[in-house]
A and B are shown apart, each in its own frame.
Chain A
């Protein structure tokens, strides 16, 4: 069979919505794109633990502390599922972690923003997880089997994340003046970065797009972003708060909300490493990994000793 034939069979499977599994033939670029995307997604979960982990020690009630701990732990689990999905494509977790630590691999820029008040825990749950869920629900149908299955599990578990975020903000919105101010401030700071999570505009793109053709992706950035804005613009009414966008307005003709222009200079700056916390986040990940080195070595050394002993017995 020629390469061309294989590619044709592959694309036919994709077109018929047949999932691609690890041992199936796939174009090298498909493998690479998936490795890149799944590992970025995994890194985002892991780095994403940090801004929220920040507030575990300071959570204002025991109930909130337990919820936050469970949520950050879920993110570790999600990172783990995704690393495992990427590993089926022939890259090791160590390699991926090396790439993250060397700065070669990327993670979602949203986590390079600081969490400055308790209300940020609510805003992250509601806005950041809300934005992530739009993407994740779509990814449950992605063409690569292990990625799709990981996403199904993740989506099931994520459903409490956004709800607890909104719930935390709802309590603040009904609280004291200081709490309401804290709530509004968090929404103001997280709104635009959440919109940036969907990535650059569609107009900056070519028409033929491999990711869409391969059904790794199924909706464009702008479609997802619009869905998100429509959802949040309604939900915020229940909080009695406002979104920091004077151009936000329902468009009866489009049946969608119009919204203002994103500050793309800021977006690219954070991507380039100049966000408020880029260095801090990576340093924290490197530190945990470096300080864990002797632990991982010891566990392997012990496992080997035990194997030898049982072999000798």
Chain B
């Protein structure tokens, strides 16, 4: 006997018994707004930090949408947006050759140098 038991969680809503067989309809892309990445400077003197993404028809709208979506609670004083398709990212497969060679260059860090206590202001 074969019993099919599935475990469900809140946030994972079961569709058991729903004989809905709709497949997604292809949508027209004429109305799709591109995706933008949003970077926010939370206060003067700090870097812009990635806050999230959103959709907008153009850059001006993206900035305004970012203002409305990501600074509702005074989270920022400056906004950058860039269309997501223009972000170039390093490949995680290259992680080893990219980042590991830096691990043995301890001499780049100030704590590597053990100086006599008499040396001040360094």
Contacts and interface: CB of A to CB of B under 8 A. Distances in A.
B18 A98 contact: no
Interface in A196-223: 197-200, 202, 204-206, 209, 211, 217, 220-221
Q: Is the interface of B mostly helix, strand, loop or mixed?
A: loop
A15 interface: no
B31 A297 contact: yes
A25 B117 CA distance: 49
Given A268-B16, A271-B18, A94 B32 contact: yes
Interface string B27-47: 101111101000000000000
Interface string A9-33: 0000000000001011100000001
Contact of B7 (A80, A92, A204, A293): A204
Contact of B25 (A41, A102, A271): A102
Q: Which of B25, B31, B32, B55 has the most CB of A within 10 A?
A: B31
Contacts of B55: 93
Contact of A23 (B13, B30, B72, B91): B91
Given A102-B22, A199-B8, A211-B7, A87 B35 contact: yes
A299 B20 contact: no
Contacts, number: 138
B31 A199 contact: no
A271 B15 contact: yes
Nearest to B93: A25
A224 interface: yes
Given A199-B14, A272-B17, 10 more contacts: A87-B35, A108-B10, A108-B13, A135-B10, A199-B10, A221-B10, A271-B13, A271-B16, A300-B30, A300-B33
28 contacts: A23-B92, A44-B13, A77-B69, A81-B52, A84-B35, A84-B52, A94-B27, A94-B29, A103-B18, A103-B20, A106-B15, A109-B13, A153-B52, A157-B73, A198-B10, A200-B7, A202-B7, A206-B5, A206-B6, A211-B7, A211-B9, A268-B17, A272-B17, A297-B30, A299-B57, A299-B58, A299-B61, A307-B58
Contacts of A99: 24
Interface residues of A, number: 65
Given A21-B92, A94-B27, A303 B10 contact: no
Q: Which of A93, A109, A224 has the most CB of B within 10 A?
A: A93
A148 interface: no
B118 interface: no
Contacts of A36: 12
